[in-house]
Chain A
Amino acid sequence: MKYSFLAYFLLLFPIISAAQNATVTGTLRDSQNGETLIGATVQAPGLGKGNASNEYGFYSLTLPEGKDSILLRFAYIGYQTLNLNVLPKGSVNLNIELIPVGAMLEEVVIEANGLDEKRRSTEMSVSTISTRDVKALPALFGETDIIKILQLKPGITPGAEGTTGLFVRGGNNDQNLIVLDEAVVYNANHLFGFFSTFNSDAVKDLKVYKGGFPAQYGGRLSSVIDVRMKEGNSKKLSGTGGIGSISSRLTLEGPIQKNKSSFIISGRRTYADVITEAINQSNKDNPDFNKIPRYYFYDLNTKVNFTLSPKDRLYLSGYFGRDVFTFKDPTFDFRFDWGNATGSARWNHTFGPKLFSNTTFTYSDYRYEIANQLQGFSFTLGSNVKDANTKVDFYWQPNNTHTVRFGGNITYHDFITARLKAGSDDGQVRFESGQDFQGWEYGAYVADEWAFKRMKLNYGLRLSMWQNSPAFYANLEPRIAANYEVNKRLSIKASYARMNQYVHLLASSGLSLPTDIWYPSTTGVKPEISDQIAIGTSYLLGNQILVTWEAWYKLLQNSVDLKDGAQLFGNDDLEQELTIGRGYAYSPIELEIEKKEGRLTGWIGYTLAWVKRGDFPEIDNGTWFSPRFDTRHNISVVALWDALKWKKKGKGKSLQLTATWVYSSGYQTWLPGGRFSFQDVPGAPFQPVVPYYGPRNTFRYPAYTRADLGIVYKWKRINRFENDLTLSLFNATNRRNPYFITIAVETAETPVGEVPIGIKAKQVSLFPILPSLTWNFKF
Chain B
Amino acid sequence: MKLNILKFLLPVAVIFVLTACNLSKVIEIELPEYEPQPVVEFYLEPGKPFRMLLTRSYAFFDNLGLDSTFLQNTLIDGALVMVTYNGKTDTLKNQLTADFNPIKIFNYVGQQIVPATPGTEFLLNIRLAEGTEITATTKMLSVVPIDSVVIEFSADIDTLARAITYISDDLTQKNYYRRLLNYNSLDSFPDQDFVLTDQLSQTKTIAFGTGYELAVGDTVFNTIFHVSEEYYDFIESVQLAVAGNLNPFAQPSPIKSNVQGSANPIGIFAPLVFFRDTTIVTR
Contacts and interface: CB of A to CB of B under 8 A. Distances in A.
B217 to A, nearest CB: 19
Interface in A635-683: 670-683
A431 B169 CA distance: 12
B154 A375 contact: yes
Contacts of A423: 202-203
B60 A675 contact: yes
B244 A670 contact: yes
A681 to B, nearest CB: 6
A692 B157 contact: no
Given A687-B242, A694-B254, A676 B25 contact: no
A570 B33 contact: no
Interface in B158-201: 160, 162, 166, 178, 180, 182, 186, 189-190, 193, 196, 199-201
Contacts of A508: 250-251
9 contacts: A331-B160, A427-B203, A429-B207, A564-B237, A672-B245, A692-B254, A693-B252, A750-B66, A752-B71
A57 B33 CA distance: 60
Q: Which of A429, A687, A743, A759 has the most CB of B within 10 A?
A: A429
B1 A565 contact: no
A687 B221 CA distance: 20
A761 B29 contact: yes
A227 interface: no
A553 interface: no
A755 B70 CA distance: 9
Interface in B135-155: 152, 154-155
Contacts, number: 248
Interface in A745-765: 748, 750, 752-753, 755-757, 759-765
Given A562-B251, A678-B238, 15 more contacts: A429-B203, A564-B256, A672-B245, A676-B56, A683-B180, A683-B276, A691-B60, A692-B241, A692-B255, A692-B266, A752-B105, A759-B60, A763-B24, A763-B26, A764-B24
Interface in A359-379: 370, 372, 374-377
Interface size of B as a range: 35 or more
B32 interface: yes
A20 interface: no
Given A572-B200, A674-B36, A690-B255, A330 B71 contact: no
B157 A331 contact: yes
B67 to A, nearest CB: 10
A685 B192 CA distance: 12
B113 interface: no
Contacts of B33: 673
Q: Which of B31, B59, B154, B233 has the most CB of A within 10 A?
A: B31
A431 B202 CA distance: 6
A334 interface: yes
Interface of A: 160, 192, 330-332, 334, 370, 372, 374-377, 381, 420, 422-424, 427-433, 508-509, 511, 513, 515, 562, 564-567, 569-570, 572, 670-687, 690-695, 698-699, 702, 736, 739-743, 748, 750, 752-753, 755-757, 759-768
Contacts of B255: 690, 692-693
Nearest to B186: A683
A694 B32 contact: yes
Contacts of B6: 370, 515, 569
Nearest to A562: B251
Contacts of B39: 676-678
Contacts of A736: 23, 25
A513 B248 CA distance: 12
B201 A673 contact: no
A690 B266 CA distance: 11
Q: Which of A432, A691, A748 has the most CB of B within 10 A?
A: A691
A679 B53 contact: yes
A428 B106 CA distance: 42
B27 A762 contact: yes
Contact of A673 (B31, B41, B225, B250): B31
A668 to B, nearest CB: 12
B66 A672 contact: no
B207 A424 contact: yes
A768 B23 CA distance: 8
Nearest to B209: A377
Contacts of B31: 671-673, 699
Contact of B237 (A374, A377, A565, A672): A565
A509 B251 contact: yes
B156 interface: yes
Given A692-B255, A760-B26, A330 B66 contact: no
Contact of A674 (B5, B57, B206, B256): B57
A692 B70 contact: no
A756 B252 contact: no
A690 B242 contact: yes
A753 B103 CA distance: 8
A517 B87 CA distance: 49
B28 interface: yes
Given A424-B207, A431-B1, A674 B60 contact: yes
Contacts of A750: 66, 70
Contacts of A684: 180, 190, 193
Interface in B206-245: 206-207, 209, 211-212, 221, 223, 225, 233, 236-238, 240-242, 244-245
A381 B3 contact: yes
A765 B66 contact: no
B156 A330 contact: yes
A491 to B, nearest CB: 44
Give the 7 A-B residue pairs with the shortest CB-CB distance, closest first.
A330-B156, A673-B34, A565-B253, A676-B57, A570-B1, A740-B248, A331-B212
B18 interface: yes
B253 A693 contact: yes
B102 A690 contact: no
Nearest to B238: A690
B200 A431 contact: yes
Contacts of A562: 251
Given A564-B254, A570-B200, A674 B157 contact: no
Nearest to B223: A683
A390 to B, nearest CB: 37
A764 B201 CA distance: 40
A672 B251 contact: no
A681 B225 contact: yes
Contacts of A567: 236
Interface in B26-59: 26-29, 31-34, 36-37, 39, 41, 43, 53, 55-59
Contact of B29 (A427, A741, A764): A741
Contacts of B34: 673-674, 692, 694
A740 B34 CA distance: 22
A565 B254 contact: yes
A768 B20 CA distance: 11
B130 interface: no
A565 B186 contact: no
A682 B166 CA distance: 21
Given A565-B236, A683-B186, A752-B105, A742 B246 contact: yes
B186 A682 contact: yes
B156 A331 contact: yes
